[in-house]
Structure 1
Amino acid sequence: MATVSNSLCSPPCRWRPATALARWSPPRPRTRGCSPPPSLSSAEHTLAQIENSGVIACLRASSPELAMEAACAALRAGISVLEIVVSTPSVFEVLQQLVRDYPAAVLGVGTVLNAKDAQIAISAGARFLMSPAMVKGILADTLASEVLYIPGVMTPTEILSAYDAGAKIVKVYPVSALGGISYISAIQKPFPHIPMVASQGVTIESTGEYIAHGASAVVLSEAIFNKEAMSRCNFDLISQLALKASLLGNEAVKQKRRCTR
């Protein structure tokens, strides 16, 4: 396993309780040695970054301190797209701090179920929002914004309904319970123009197969943020898993594009 090293792009990782969200300001550009943030944080640009990565790391934690440490471990290891589940304590303040510390990362909030939480997440700097189902209020509020909304879908009807309503990408959930790779392969065929994220029960090892069979990206939760590693604060293991996931995701995307040329 390759080692993970700190760099100028790896700020000190400590939970610093944030001030009021109303005082949030956009992150400053990075200094030397780090990739600058995009000039326009549009939904289309965010979608392209997700498709280029192939992996969305999904973090849920029992405390803001644990969330910060685990998120930093994953981001430093190469994860470029990260969602924090809304049930994480102080989730919006954690997001706020990560946006400041990692301005080039694509950061979002997951399991968002109502428009109020969506608006707070956007105010804290979320580039994307994800739900287990389509929440019409969130979709309506984000259609004209620069924030990407990824609604959850399960059936062909739900996929087409979300797309016709304006969704640029959908999350097939719970994909493992629906049949896994074979389900993605089958459900994507009539909708090749609709980007799909495979979510629930996806392993690092199966990432390539999901992408090869039609998924634009996969959501990896416990595959990266291993339960035992989180409970023992084993951030080295989280970094190793994140590095492996990032490399496999990038390679799967490259391979898929080579095959479709």
Structure 2
Amino acid sequence: MDLQTALADHRLVAIVRGTDPDAALRTVLILADEGIDLIEVSLTSADALTVIARAHQSLGSGSRLGAGTVLTAEDARAAHRAGAAFAVTPGLGEGVTEAQALGMPVLAGVFTPTDIIAAKALGVDALKIFPAAQAGGPAYLKAMRGPFPELPFVPVGGVDIAATRAYLTAGALAVGIGSPLIGDAADGGDEAALRARARAFRAVAAEVAV
């Protein structure tokens, strides 16, 4: 999987974190049905590995389904066994290097310029600015693109519709979206509202060219 190309093509990464495995699976399938192809299932979700495995089986081998909150080498190995196509981490550590060793693209969490330099040295596929809202929002992204104009940044954390537009306009390759998109769907909540939000986010992403 070419993660950078997928991020550039789709501009959105949906982050599914839920307490109900069946609802989380339905959420993944609804997002895919609505055209949000890059989906991260956080390993902090209830029975996350089973959700990933079942979603992988339903969506097929070409699915762009990732595992999030990959912290350790065992997290990376378990996500790989479950069929995750890529790994997402909140920071830099053995979860990054083990995923790379397994051939999984990595969206690695960074917060400071020092983190960014370290992530670049590791050769990660894209850099997740996290938590983006606390880092300073779109203004921080714009500032980091000064010394690092060529790097593929993906802000995550507190990204709603307005922030999606602002980050993409400021030069983000894509954005990661959790609760502002998922709502309560992964806990057994309103699936029709999830579809409506998915369409709204896709419309905003389509407004801003790479």
- Structure (1 or 2) with the larger CA radius of gyration: 1
- The DSSP-based 3-state class of the residue aligned with 1:61 is coil
* Residue 181 of structure 1, aligned match among 138, 147, 166: 138
* Residue 233 of structure 1, aligned match among 173, 189, 194: 189
**Could you say which residue in structure 2 is the equivalent of 1:109?**
67
CA distance in 1, matches of 2:33, 2:87: 22
1:212 aligns to 2:173 (yes or no): no
4+ runs of 1 displaced by more than 4 Å? 229-232
- The DSSP-based 3-state class of the residue aligned with 1:151 is strand
CA distance in 2, matches of 1:153, 1:130: 11
**Could you say which residue in structure 2 is the equivalent of 1:130?**
88
How far did 1:97 drift?
1.3
CA distance in 2, matches of 1:230, 1:142: 26
Unaligned stretches of 5+ in structure 1?
1-41, 257-261
How far did 1:192 drift?
1.3
**Could you say which residue in structure 1 is the equivalent of 2:107?**
150
| CA offset digits 1:212-240 (Å, max 9, x no partner) | 2121111110111114x555621000011
1:119 aligns to 2:97 (yes or no): no
TM-score scaled by structure 2?
A: 0.93
- Which residue type is aligned with residue 117 of structure 2? L
**Could you say which residue in structure 2 is the equivalent of 1:5?**
none
- Which residue type is aligned with residue 238 of structure 1? L
**Could you say which residue in structure 2 is the equivalent of 1:8?**
none
TM-score scaled by structure 1?
A: 0.75
CA distance in 1, matches of 2:198, 2:163: 14
Matches within 5 A, 1:80-91: 80-91=37-48
CA distance in 2, matches of 1:118, 1:143: 9
Aligned 8 A contact 1:59 1:221 in 2: yes
**Could you say which residue in structure 2 is the equivalent of 1:160?**
117
- The DSSP-based 3-state class of the residue aligned with 1:171 is strand
How far did 1:194 drift?
1.3
CA distance in 1, matches of 2:54, 2:8: 25
Aligned 8 A contact 1:76 1:239 in 2: no
Aligned 8 A contact 2:75 2:95 in 1: no
CA distance in 2, matches of 1:181, 1:50: 18
Identical amino acids, percent of aligned pairs: 26
Aligned 8 A contact 1:95 1:125 in 2: yes
- Which residue type is aligned with residue 209 of structure 1? A
**Could you say which residue in structure 2 is the equivalent of 1:15?**
none
- The DSSP-based 3-state class of the residue aligned with 1:219 is strand
Unaligned stretches of 5+ in structure 2?
none
| Structure richer in helix, relative to its length | 2
**Could you say which residue in structure 2 is the equivalent of 1:169?**
126
- The DSSP-based 3-state class of the residue aligned with 1:138 is helix
**Could you say which residue in structure 2 is the equivalent of 1:249?**
205
- How many residue pairs are counted as aligned between the two chains? 209
**Could you say which residue in structure 2 is the equivalent of 1:7?**
none
> Alpha carbons of 1:47 and 1:225: their partners in 2 closer, same or farther (altered >3 Å)?
same
- The DSSP-based 3-state class of the residue aligned with 2:133 is helix
How far did 1:193 drift?
1.6
* Residue 52 of structure 2, aligned match among 81, 84, 95: 95
